[in-house]
Structure formats: C-alpha cells, structure tokens
Structure 1
C-alpha cells in the first residue's frame, strides 16, 4: 500500500540519477528501502545514497558505519560527506544550510535528490513558520518538489504519516538510528514535536492531517500569487537603455502603478532567486527607494546585495559585485583583449595609438576630447548619458601617459575617434558576481 504512494515519482523517472538523502533515521531508512525494493521490479534511474556528517555530536561518528551496512545490504552505493557547520544564532538553520550545500555539490544536471520528510514534518513546519509570522510563501511549508542546484529536490513521502512509516519499518524489520538531539526541547522543532503537537492531537485527533492540508491550500494560494507576479513583472520588464549592462533591472513606473500589496508580491517573486527575502518590517526600505526624488540615487540593502534606483529604473547588484580591483593596469598589447579582475574585459576595435597605454578608473575631474564637441568633463558626459551611478566607478578609462584617450563606446554614447578606433568593454555579469 505504501509503495503505491511513490507514484508521485513518475515525472522524475527519466532523470539521470536519484540520490537519497540518507541520515540513517526512520524516514530516510524507509525511503531507501522502498526505492531499493522498487528497483528490483521496475526500471528506475541509478540509485545513490548520501550521508551528511555534521560533526556536531560524538554519537554521530558511528552513523556512517551504520549507513554503510544498510546500503551494502540493499546494494546501493553510499557517499559520506563531512561538512563544517558555521556557528550562529540558530544551530538548526546552520546545519540545514551546510547539509543542503553538500547535497547541491552532489547533484548533476537533471538529477534528483529524494528526502524523507513526511506529513508530520509538514505540520511542524507550518506551525513553526506560523509562530515566526511567515507569509503565504512560508506557510505553504515544504513543497513536494523544487529546483536544487543543477537538479531537483523531491519529497515523495509528504502524504504519509510517521505512523505509516513506523508500520512499514516494523513489517520489514528495518533498523534505524535514533538521533539523541531529536529529543532536546531546546530546539524549536523538537519542542513542537514533543510538547505542542501531542497536546493538539489529544483535542483534535486529525490535527496533523489538517495542518498538512492547510499547507497544501496555502501552496495553491502561493501559486496564484506567483502567477499574478508574473503578469505584473511582464509590464515592468521593459528593455533597459543600457542593454550591454548584464544586471537584472525593472522599470519603476509600472510597479508604482500597482497597489502596495501587489508591488511587494511582484518584488518578492523577482528577488527570490537573487537574495533571501526581507521580513515585514524591512519593507520600509522599498518604500523609501520607490518614493525618492527622481534625481536621487537611493539603494535598499538586502541580505545578499543591494537594490539601486537610478532615475526611473531599479537595478539589482549582488554583494560580491563590488569586489573588483581599481588599480591601474598597463596594456602593452591593445590589439588583444585585456581581462580586468572582477570587472569584465576591454578591447580595441580598429588601430589604437602606439605607445604605452594604461587602463585606469575615475578619480574625479577627468576631461576628454569628444569629436565635434571639443574638450568635455567626463562627469557631465556621464550625467547626459544617464549611466547608473553604481557603474561609473567601474568604467575603464584608456590613458596614454596623463592623457585620457577614450572611454568605452557604450551604446553609441561616444562616437568613433577621428582615427577610427573604439574602446569596448564587456562588464562582469550578475552571475559572475555571485559566489
């Protein structure tokens, strides 16, 4: 009966491989046994088990050997990965982040990671996030599947209760690890599992099933909000006047025309792949950025980068995007492209002047010769162009001695020099700026 529930895996049967997150506990032991048994009668992708050793307690040192014995008996290859858990306010969160980083390293393109979370876990997640004041996305709890690294994370047991898993384990005489930390009430999930949910089920026997069902409803509601966000973002996703600048951006006007709630919904959807999302109180930063005067250049600090406003457009810059060297670079061979550390590359089209050339960055007060206009302040030229302020310090300038010869020919803002050559620049992309 329980094996029939694995029909949810049908969409993933053509994946190159299935990796089972195998802690050695009840849930993952049942999942591994189920899949290994199914593989004997059906054609499945290659199965692999992955055990992540966090090194947080002495008892865990014996778990890889236990997992190896189980995998050997089921003829499933096992990979043990040791991780370093970074200290912080939440040990649970830090351990989870380290674990999923390890899983991400395992997954190849199109491969699937299968985890053993069940219906009781879903109910705990909903309660935990409800008490933290989560919105619809958080209260949708754990999705049945989502992208992970180059592959997918799939939770095939979400419709099953822990009681059903225990019955399966007893029927097949499975042995599993009992993690001592799972009984420690100092951890929030353990407190909910052992102190809160039993009390709720005494009064409402179907509490766990009802909570899990509510999570399904909220997941459906989040899907509708995502569809609305996509509609709103289509209007704001207008071409940038700086098509050469490979950074995510949106037109501000279409967003301002929406209600506050729809603005936040659209931005959450747009920012979700880029950064951890702000809490409710932190959204005041968006209001300040949105309502700033047109000639201001405000920014909104977020967990993994900054949202900049330049005129009537907003731009996303990841935190690591600012990490570039502004030291001068000699360019002895201007006929070949020059890589600029953290700042893309430059090259010359045509025949640049002979002599020692150098790439420098703005210090202020630069003046250059513009064909047909004479000598002009670079600052004024940049203001005329509308180039976003956060890019002006990254603009590579070509010097011969103390003479500013050229700035990159960006979107035709500066015409060819009388000698018929141009300096071109391909900036660092947003993906390159992400660690």
Structure 2
C-alpha cells in the first residue's frame, strides 16, 4: 500500500522533529498551502509558524498577505509578513529568490528549520534548466532536500511528491489558494519550461518528470562523494598559517599541487562554495595562472564575491569588502581604551600606553622604525622579512607620536615590541565581522 501524503511528509521531517521550531515559507499558492495544512492538522510537537514574503513586484500581490493571514488564523498558525526589496538586475527571478532567502535567514534561529514546498516537478525543472546552462555535478544535483541556512536549516520535505498529489489533497480538503498571474508568463525561464517544454516531453516520455527527479537524486549522491574526496584532499592544505590572527580563510599550496588538476578543482570548489559564487569552466584558467606563477609573484584570481590571493606558498581568500576601510589618520585620545578603526578592527595596548598625543596612520612608503637590538630599520624590509602577505600591509595600523613612528602591532609577529612596558595589539576585522 502506498503511503499517504501526510505519512510521506512526516517521514521526510523525522530528522528535524527535535528542532526548536519549524517555520513554513507560505506564499499562499497551492504547494505551500498544502504544506501548511498538512502540518497544522498533523499537530507536530515542534512549535509551528508561517512566513509570507511580499516582494512588491505586482499590484495583485498587495492582497495576498490578508489571504495568508486568514488561512493561518483558521489553522491556528502564527504568521509573519515580511516586505523585501528586489534589486534591479538582469534576472528578476534570481533577485526575488535572493531577497526571499535573505529574509528567511533573518527569521530562523539557531537549530530552527525553514520549510519550503518545492515538489517533484520543481526539481525536474531545476535539473533541466541547469543542464541547459552547462552546470556541473553540483548544479545538476538540483535542489537538496536539506542545506544549512544562517544558524539553522532549510528543508524541502515535498521534493518526492508530485504536483498532482498536492492538487488532489487540496481538492479533497477544499483548500483555497492564490493563483499568481506571473506563473503564466513564459518570459520567465522556469515558466517557459513548465508551459512549453515539459508538455512536449511528457507527451513523448510520460515518465520524464520522475526520471529527471531521480537523476537529480543520483547526481546529489555523486556530489556527496565528491565532497568527501574534497574534504580528504583539503586536510593537508588546511594547515595553520603563520598569521592565524588575520581571520581569513587560507590554504597551503604545496599539498594542492600534488593533486591532479581535476582533484584540485574539486577541492577548491568545495572550499570556495560557502565563500563565493563559483566560476564557470572557462574561468578556471585563472586558478592555473595563480598556481603556476613564479614564487616571488603575488598573483590574484578575481571571482564573483572576492579575490583569491597567492603569497609565497599560500593562497588566501579576500571578500570583496576587504578593501573597504578608511586610511584616514585616526587620533587616539584615550589610549587606555581600545581604538576602533573604521572597518579595520581594533587596536589596543597591553601594558601602560606611551604618553603624548598619539595617532594611527597607514603606510605611505619610506617609514623607519626602531627595533630593539637592531637599531633603526626600514619598515618595508622588515615586512618583507616577516613574510606578512602583501594585501595586509596597506591596512596595517602604524602608531605615531608627532612625526615619529613609535610602534607597529607586535601581533603580526614581526619583531620584538619597542618597549618592555607595553605592546601594541591589532585585531583585524575578520570575515565573520562583516567582510563577507
């Protein structure tokens, strides 16, 4: 006997029954209406709520929050309505999706679950759409049943359910749902596939949709194996750097060089995936140029959301906002308290701060500093000796008293502090503090 739709749903959600809360992404359409009704009537022990995202893209959408509210009131489910701004760009679909998931990330707390109602036809459309765009295994794995989102989880429990099953359930229970007029607009790629391509495919191959969805499952399993291989290959490359205080992701280059080109790309895709949108096949020549550059070169590879830098035998990830800091001098009137540098972290003293009016400046070139036991030394040469990555040097805070350079943060491990009475510590702004 085939399991009922409620049984399928509860089985899919079994791994998440101990989550602190479940949130349903409730558009008011057929799919999310069925999901909401299934869960509200199942009365799970997990606290349940709904979230409606108002994109503001069409006049008809202004009436949808009130419809969603009435449905939630009837089912006894709390509803939160969130208005988002969809940025203008080449793809309205992508902009709306990004805005929607950004809002979801604001809703869920640690360990909580956001449930979305994509079904089997959605999965087949995603696979075909990405196949036409030339996606690799990761893209062709289509939509995962589960993925991390903010501090919680995004779960799609209906991916194994057909749209026909959802419609039958809705009719049986006399549910009312919103018919989004934009779903009929074939100018949008997914709608074109849904209304023009899939009817022809299923006329010739009736099992096209479940077949494509099954292929997506196989590709998802293959991607899981590639991820396991990547984690194994990255173990040796993830040895700590000489500058762990920088707080930037980095890898040792030598272990990567020992891998085949295909395994290098696989390991890097896995490592870069949470940091940036991944490059297409043609763009990977940038990795080869960075990897094969001369030892004393400092090449970089520009990606969608940042840059990969190579310094010596190490590669570093710098998010796009790394350069967004102010190099304007900053007065330090109360040196007993930490100094917050504009988008450049924090500077503080350990020990008694030196007397006099102090100011933080940034490198202009030609700086000289006193080094205990070595006398007056050229700062540039000292930085070269230290191996401090070149991309850090422009934002290294320098402490001045008048026109005299009295200190460089010893946290960089460059040399001994200028005095036994105090040390200058710099904690740069890290990716977790807003650089990514």
By the TM > 0.5 criterion, same fold?
Answer: yes
Instruction: Provide the aligned length of Structure 1 versus Structure 2.
Output: 432
Distance 1:353 1:48, change over 3 A: closer
CA distance in 2, matches of 1:336, 1:87: 44
Please list, as runs of the form range in 1=range in 2, the aligned pairs for 1:233-272 lying within 5 A after superposition: 233-272=234-273
CA distance in 1, matches of 2:418, 2:28: 69
Contact kept in structure 2, 1:321 and 1:433, CA below 8 Å: no
1:274 is paired with a residue whose SS is coil
Contact kept in structure 1, 2:202 and 2:208, CA below 8 Å: yes
CA distance in 2, matches of 1:72, 1:330: 57
Q: What TM-score, normalized to structure 1?
A: 0.97
1:28 alignment counterpart: 32
2:8 alignment counterpart: 5
Contact kept in structure 1, 2:369 and 2:407, CA below 8 Å: yes
Contact kept in structure 2, 1:356 and 1:401, CA below 8 Å: yes
1:410 is paired with a residue whose SS is helix
Deviation at 1:89, TM superposition (A): 0.6
The answer to whether 1:62 aligns with 2:63 is yes
Distance 1:93 1:411, change over 3 A: closer
CA distance in 1, matches of 2:341, 2:419: 27
CA distance in 2, matches of 1:172, 1:149: 35
TM-superposition CA deviations, 1:192-220 (whole Å, max 9, x none): 11111111111111110000000000000
Query: Higher mean Cα deviation, 412-421 or 291-300?
Result: 412-421
1:358 alignment counterpart: 359
CA distance in 1, matches of 2:114, 2:83: 18
Please list, as runs of the form range in 1=range in 2, the aligned pairs for 1:130-145 lying within 5 A after superposition: 130-145=131-146
Contiguous gaps of at least 5 residues in structure 1? none
CA distance in 2, matches of 1:229, 1:301: 22
Deviation at 1:419, TM superposition (A): 5.0
TM-superposition CA deviations, 1:309-330 (whole Å, max 9, x none): 0000000111112211211122
CA distance in 2, matches of 1:385, 1:283: 31
Distance 1:154 1:303, change over 3 A: same
The answer to whether 1:409 aligns with 2:413 is no
Contact kept in structure 2, 1:136 and 1:222, CA below 8 Å: yes
Contiguous gaps of at least 5 residues in structure 2? none
Contact kept in structure 2, 1:236 and 1:255, CA below 8 Å: yes
Contact kept in structure 2, 1:318 and 1:433, CA below 8 Å: no
Deviation at 1:411, TM superposition (A): 5.1
CA distance in 2, matches of 1:165, 1:23: 15
Please list, as runs of the form range in 1=range in 2, the aligned pairs for 1:10-409 lying within 5 A after superposition: 10-39=14-43, 43-409=44-410
Deviation at 1:418, TM superposition (A): 4.8
Deviation at 1:290, TM superposition (A): 0.8
CA RMSD of aligned residues (A): 1.3
Query: Higher mean Cα deviation, 400-409 or 117-126?
Result: 400-409
1:85 is paired with a residue whose SS is coil
CA distance in 1, matches of 2:432, 2:316: 14
Q: What TM-score, normalized to structure 2?
A: 0.96
Contact kept in structure 2, 1:185 and 1:191, CA below 8 Å: yes
TM-superposition CA deviations, 1:324-382 (whole Å, max 9, x none): 12111222332332221211112223334322121111100001111111211100000
Contact kept in structure 1, 2:429 and 2:435, CA below 8 Å: no
